Amino acid sequence: MKEMRRLLFHMQHCRGLGLKGTRLLLARLSDPSLIYELSPVSIQQLSQSTAVNAKLFHTDLHTLPIREYEENYRRNSIQWVSLYDEDYPELLKNVYDPPFILFMKGKKELLKSRIKLAVIGSRQATSYTEEILREMMPGLAEKNIVIVSGLARGADTAAHKMAIRSGGITIGVVAGGFQHIYPRENSKLADYMMKNQLLLSESPPFIKPQKWQFPFRNRIISGISNAVLVTEAQKKSGTFITADYALNEGREILCIPGSIHHKLSEGTNILIKDGAKMVLSIEDIFSELDV
């Protein structure tokens, strides 16, 4: 198991295959350690990748200074956990394409908290989101409910900040690595959370975030949480991607209703119409989380 853990860590730093290709490659080998003996052609065939990507992966696999990365992460208090470790989040194991590796900076023990609530919403969230969260966060903090969000503008930022101000606990899941926080205006918030709360990423610290990573990381936000609370969202917005992940993962969707005349209430009202639980008070959240 220790060898498998190190192999996954190594592969996570190699370019070319991505999560799908890595999964295919591992599934088709009786002994994963045989990866080091494969030619680029064999890697291409087994992972169903292109010749260029297979060659890139093969080159990285045999040239990257992995021990130096490990030492650098230790010096910078960056921890990591693999899919095969006992302390890998149990809920996350059952999502679609769970990350092979989770990088962590901050208080790792927060992952073991019993109840986590994902809070998501529009990047253009209005004062309505802030008002709702300001009212609810003290009660959520009192119940030791961990707030999970994505450190994006708008609702995510409000959720993290309100949780901290209320003396609560919060976990941020970022796209890209810890050295490239986006948006930049949240760098100070991220620094604080990396010291006093917890940040997670499936990307090595030096990786710059790509556009596709933002919706894909949402499966982690909902995946480690017991339920998902949506504050404000436009119809067909990115928030629906997280909601879809949550539904596929068997998580309950909780929504704050809003005016039928406001575009940022269209999404939440539609989700409620389609079966999401309407939240009219904090007791509705407690009831769903059984606290």
Domain CATH code at residue 236: 3.40.50.450
Confidence at residue 237, expressed as pLDDT on a 0 to 100 scale: 79
At residue 218, what are phi and psi to the nearest 5 degrees? Answer: -65, -25
Same domain, 113 and 251: yes
Is residue 126 situated within a structural domain? yes
Tally of helices (H runs) and strands (E runs) in the chain: 13, 9
Is 81 a domain residue? no
Residue carrying structure tokens 């060659």: 55
Inside any domain, residue 153 = yes
**Is residue 133 domain-shared with residue 219, that is, in the same domain?**
yes
Are residue 114 and residue 175 in the same domain, yes or no? yes
Does 197 share its domain with 265? yes
CB 220 within 8 A of CB 200: yes
pLDDT in tens, 170-189: 999 999 999 999 999 999 99
The answer to whether residue 239 is domain-embedded is yes
- pLDDT, tens digit (0-9, with 9 covering 90-100), for 47-73: 999 999 999 999 999 999 999 999 999
Same domain membership, residue 142 and residue 31: no
In a domain, 167, yes or no: yes
pLDDT at 248 over 90: no
Helical axes 155-165 vs 127-142, angle rounded to 10° = 40
* Range of lowest pLDDT (84-93, 210-219, 231-240): 231-240
Q: How confident is the model at residue 167 (pLDDT cuts 50, 70, 90)?
A: very high
Mark whether 124 and 265 lie in a shared domain.
yes
* 37 and 114 belong to one structural domain: no
Query: What percent of the chain is predicted at pLDDT more than 70?
Result: 100
pLDDT tens, position by position, 225-241: 999 999 999 987 778 78
CB 72 within 8 A of CB 171: no
As a whole number of angstroms, the distance between CA 285 and CA 174 comes to 25
Query: What is the separation of C-alpha 63 from the centre of its chain, rounded to a whole number of angstroms?
Result: 29
Q: Is 268 found in the same domain as 169?
A: yes
Q: How far is CA 273 from the centre of its chain?
A: 27
Q: Is the per-residue pLDDT at 20 higher than 80?
A: yes
**Domain presence at residue 269:** yes
> Which helix (H) or strand (E) segment is 255 a member of?
strand 252-255
Indicate the pLDDT class of residue 247, thresholds 50, 70 and 90. Answer: confident
Domain-embedded: residue 72: no
In a domain, 14, yes or no: yes
Give the range of the structural domain holding residue 11, as residue numbers without chain letter: 1-64
Residues 218 and 160 both lie in one domain: yes
Q: Which DSSP symbol is given to 85? A: S
Q: Are residues 11 and 111 in the same domain?
A: no
Mean pLDDT across 80-89? 93
Together in a domain, 132 and 195: yes
Q: How many domains does the chain have?
A: 2
Model pTM score:
0.94
Three-state DSSP state, 4 = helix
**Per-residue pLDDT tens digits for 127-159:** 999 999 999 999 999 999 999 999 999 999 999
Q: Provide the 3-class DSSP secondary structure of residue 179.
A: coil
Percent of the chain at pLDDT > 90 equals 86
Please check whether residues 194 and 53 belong to one and the same domain.
no
Report d(CA 62, CA 38) in Å as an integer: 11
Is pLDDT above 90 for 245?
A: no
Angle at 255 between CA 249 and CA 261, to 5 degrees: 135
Residue 111 has pLDDT above 90, yes or no: yes
**Average predicted confidence (pLDDT) for the chain:** 94
